[in-house]
């Protein structure tokens, strides 16, 4: 250590000799990054038509990540706005539908009602998983990352996104209406049987404390929002909270179910086993095997709420 710090000549000579033998792999820049940089350079020169053309190739090159593609669409709209403001607003609207965290168009965004998948749950899950994961190993990594985000603590945004992603992993359709201009619940699931789950997540709540009046009120408001948006549909109000016990001053929404600490742990255990089964011999590519695994682990639309939640109580 002293030889290094004191710049000993022998040490320097030895170090240079060792480093001289090192060979580095050639750096690789993906084509979309090159096009994105070129688009920016064209815009800096004031050639917004060329900038938009290059940025469009960036958008077209992203096929596996809707949120990232939406972000690049927003950048495309920025360039197009210089010569076609109307088209720019349409692109911005499309981007905002895919990623509600992005800027909204000038005319605002109308809420698009969530629709359940048009095929059975197992077929929907199999199709979605095949589009998302290239192999069983990738699938296991994806489910593991999902389980890590479904953890109690201050990372509420990651938790709520994981709840949305969970819906897709088991063959439903998920949405985060909380991010809309007129916020709805943290999560909304459209189940394969045509019903819905209206979900409020309190993953940062302290264990040992009841569900307070404020949180119960938020779930009730979420149900009011649902009835306004989906007047002819049925739904179950679901609260994710360490305890199923409500404070005496809180009003429990009718039919309320609570995913408690114990039930969330049970769900994560079931998901781990489900993922293992899906990855075995690429079972996730076979809807019949997916259907069997969904049923075995209580992840069907008919069974999910009963197995992984409890009734809210005082």
Distance of CA 112 to the CA centre of its chain: 18
pLDDT computed for residue 184 by the predictor = 87
Q: What is the pLDDT along the chain (314 residues), one digit of tens a residue?
A: 777 787 888 888 888 877 777 777 766 667 888 889 999 998 998 888 888 899 999 999 888 788 888 899 999 999 988 888 878 888 888 888 788 778 777 766 667 788 888 999 999 999 999 999 999 999 999 999 999 999 999 999 999 999 999 999 999 999 998 766 667 899 999 999 999 999 999 999 999 999 999 999 999 999 999 999 999 999 999 999 999 999 999 999 999 999 999 999 999 999 999 999 999 999 999 999 999 999 999 999 999 999 999 999 99
pLDDT computed for residue 209 by the predictor = 94
pLDDT computed for residue 143 by the predictor = 97
What is the rounded CA–CA span in Å between residue 271 and residue 136? 14
Altogether, the residues listed in the chain come to a count of: 314
Domain locations in the chain? Answer: 1-110, 121-311
Q: What is the CA angle 205-210-215, rounded to 5? A: 65
pLDDT computed for residue 308 by the predictor = 98
Dihedral sign of CA atoms 52, 53, 57, 59 in order: positive
What is the rounded CA–CA span in Å between residue 299 and residue 291? 10
What is the rounded CA–CA span in Å between residue 152 and residue 166? 16
What lies within 8 Å, CB to CB, of 275 at 6+ separation is 139, 140, 143, 144
Which ranges in the chain belong to alpha helices (H)? 2-5, 9-20, 31-44, 48-60, 66-80, 85-98, 121-132, 136-149, 156-169, 213-229, 261-279, 287-296, 304-308
pLDDT computed for residue 34 by the predictor = 87
Pick the CATH number of 121-311 from 3.40.91, 3.40.80, 3.90.1200, 1.10.1740: 3.40.91
């Amino acid at each position: 250590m002293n030889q290094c710090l004191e710049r000993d000549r022998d040490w320097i000579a030895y170090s240079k000799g060792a480093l001289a033998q090192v060979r580095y792999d050639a750096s690789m820049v993906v084509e979309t990054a090159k096009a994105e940089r070129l688009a920016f350079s064209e815009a800096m020169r004031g050639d917004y038509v060329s900038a938009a053309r290059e940025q469009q190739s960036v958008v077209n090159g992203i096929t596996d990540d809707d949120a990232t593609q939406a972000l690049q669409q927003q950048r495309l709209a920025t360039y197009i706005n210089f010569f076609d403001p109307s088209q720019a607003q349409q692109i911005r609207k499309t981007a905002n539908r895919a990623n509600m965290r992005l800027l909204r168009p000038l005319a605002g965004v109308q809420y698009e009602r969530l629709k359940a998948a048009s095929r059975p749950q197992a077929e929907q899950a199999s199709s979605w998983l095949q589009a998302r994961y290239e192999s069983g190993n990738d699938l296991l990594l994806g489910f593991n990352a999902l389980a890590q985000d479904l953890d109690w603590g201050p990372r509420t945004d990651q938790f709520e996104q994981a709840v949305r992603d969970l819906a897709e992993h088991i063959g439903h359709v998920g949405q985060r209406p909380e991010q809309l201009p007129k916020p709805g619940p943290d999560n909304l699931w459209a189940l394969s049987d045509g019903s819905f789950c209206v979900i409020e997540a309190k993953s940062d709540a302290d264990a040992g404390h009841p569900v307070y009046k404020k949180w119960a009120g938020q779930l009730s408001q979420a149900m009011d929002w649902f009835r306004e948006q989906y007047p002819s549909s049925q739904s179950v109000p679901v609260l994710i909270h360490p305890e199923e016990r409500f404070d005496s001053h809180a009003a429990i929404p009718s039919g309320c179910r609570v995913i408690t600490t114990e039930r969330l742990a049970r769900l994560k255990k079931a998901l781990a086993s489900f993922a293992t089964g899906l990855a075995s011999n690429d079972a996730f590519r076979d809807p019949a095997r997916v259907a069997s695994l969904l049923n075995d682990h209580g992840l069907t639309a008919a069974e999910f709420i009963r197995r992984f939640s409890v009734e809210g109580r005082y």
